[in-house]
């Protein structure tokens, strides 16, 4: 007889599938390896790197770091490219003039000079916002599932409460762009366009 699947696990699986569909899914410890690697690569580089070069160099650095902490970084190339895709879409990779590099055809030829100061939080906040928009039915009752899919370490010594605290802290910082509707569902606040902004002045 099969063991029933816990509802939050099924919900997490749905969220993971949505992230995978858009090449955004990564496990937390693997993502952190890439975060450490890209910081170190930019810090140690003696010249500006294109995003394509930075991605390759960070892959190598992530493998070294994972070995150092005795973590088995599976599918390292896919993980690295997935995390870079999330960082690019989150706008945390800065080009000359310290402007975010835009996702698109020219992105990987662009030169990267820095990361935003809070690039880790901003990247993971983007993943939360992406899921809210993609699924359209996420509410406070999904906090455990969200924490599980985005922040689980596959380590029993890491309390699930810590992961939920991480989630609600990021959600709280997103109050300028995420609303909790009367229906109990999170919704992305429409972005004000330049025309709308001028018209309101």
Question: Rg for the chain (alpha carbons), in Å?
Answer: 18
Task: Say which residue, 180 or 199, is predicted with more confidence.
Answer: 180
Is residue 4 very low, low, confident or very high in pLDDT (cuts 50, 70, 90)? Answer: very low
Give the pLDDT of residue 152: 84
Strand-strand pairing, 114-115 and 186-188: unpaired
Is residue 8 very low, low, confident or very high in pLDDT (cuts 50, 70, 90)? Answer: low
Strand-strand pairing, 49-50 and 93-94: unpaired
Q: Which of 117, 123, 73 is nearest to 98 (CA)?
A: 117
Mean of per-residue pLDDT scores for the chain: 90
Report the C-alpha gap between 167 and 200 in whole angstroms. 34
Give the mean pLDDT of 21-43: 97
CB environment 31-41: b (16+ within 10 A), e (fewer): bbbbbbbbebb
Least-confidence region, from 34-43, 137-146, 184-193: 184-193
Structure tokens at 69: 């902490």
- Any idea of the CA torsion for 24, 83, 163, 120, to the nearest 10 degrees? -130
Count of alpha carbons within 13 Å of 161, Cβ hemisphere only? 0
- Does the pLDDT value for residue 3 go beyond 90? no
CB environment 74-83: b (16+ within 10 A), e (fewer): eebeebbbbb
Task: Say which residue, 10 or 8, is predicted with more confidence.
Answer: 10
Report the C-alpha gap between 168 and 157 in whole angstroms. 20
**Measured CA distances, 183 to 7, 87, 139, 157, 188 (Å):** 20, 31, 9, 36, 14
Residue 114 pairs in a beta bridge with 94
Give the pLDDT of residue 5: 52
- Does the pLDDT value for residue 106 go beyond 90? yes
- Does the pLDDT value for residue 153 go beyond 80? no
Give the pLDDT of residue 158: 72
- Does the pLDDT value for residue 58 go beyond 90? yes
Q: Which of 124, 109, 100 is nearest to 28 (CA)?
A: 124
Contact 174, 188 (CB under 8 A): no
Give the mean pLDDT of 168-196: 84
| Phi, psi at 179, each rounded to 5° | -115, 150
Express as a percent the part of the chain with pLDDT over 90: 81
């Amino acid at each position: 007889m099969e063991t029933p699947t816990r509802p939050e696990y099924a919900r997490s699986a749905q969220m993971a599938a949505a992230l995978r569909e858009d090449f955004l899914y990564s496990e937390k410890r693997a993502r952190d390896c890439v975060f450490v690697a890209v910081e170190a690569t930019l810090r140690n580089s003696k010249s500006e790197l294109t995003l394509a070069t930075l991605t390759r160099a960070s892959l190598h650095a992530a493998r070294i770091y994972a070995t150092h902490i005795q973590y088995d970084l599976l599918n390292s190339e896919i993980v690295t490219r997935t995390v870079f895709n999330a960082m690019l879409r989150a706008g945390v990779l800065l080009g000359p003039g310290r402007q975010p590099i835009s996702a698109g055809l020219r992105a990987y030829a662009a030169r990267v000079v820095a990361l935003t100061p809070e690039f880790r939080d901003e990247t993971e906040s983007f993943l939360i916002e992406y899921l809210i928009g993609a699924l359209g039915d996420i509410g406070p009752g999904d906090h455990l599932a969200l924490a599980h899919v985005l922040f689980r370490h596959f380590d029993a010594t890491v309390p699930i409460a810590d992961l939920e605290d991480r989630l609600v802290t990021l959600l709280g910082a997103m109050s300028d762009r995420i609303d909790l509707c009367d229906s109990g569902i999170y919704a992305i606040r429409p972005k004000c366009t330049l025309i709308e902004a001028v018209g309101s002045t």
